[in-house]
Amino acid sequence: MEDKCIYLDTYVLQQDMRIRMPKAILSNLQVEKGKTKFDIFLDSKEQSLVLRIHNDKDDEGADDNE
């Protein structure tokens, strides 16, 4: 990834596969608890996950798979 990464915190992957999000994202991104969706990308070369705020415009014309 060419973007600069800022370390926020370290969390354990929960038994039910949840990952706790650091509270710092609330003050650094325009997100709302229980409302904001994230797209999840795997960078297998760097062995990392990347979360990006979901852009609702990407859903136009697509079926809702939820």
| Residues 51, 55, 56, 57, CA torsion sign | negative
pLDDT digits (tens, 9 = 90+) for 18-50: 999 999 999 999 999 999 999 999 999 999 999
Helix/strand number for the chain, H first, E second: 1, 2
Strands 38-43 and 48-53: antiparallel
| Residues 60, 41, 30, 37, CA torsion sign | positive
Q: Read off the pTM.
A: 0.68
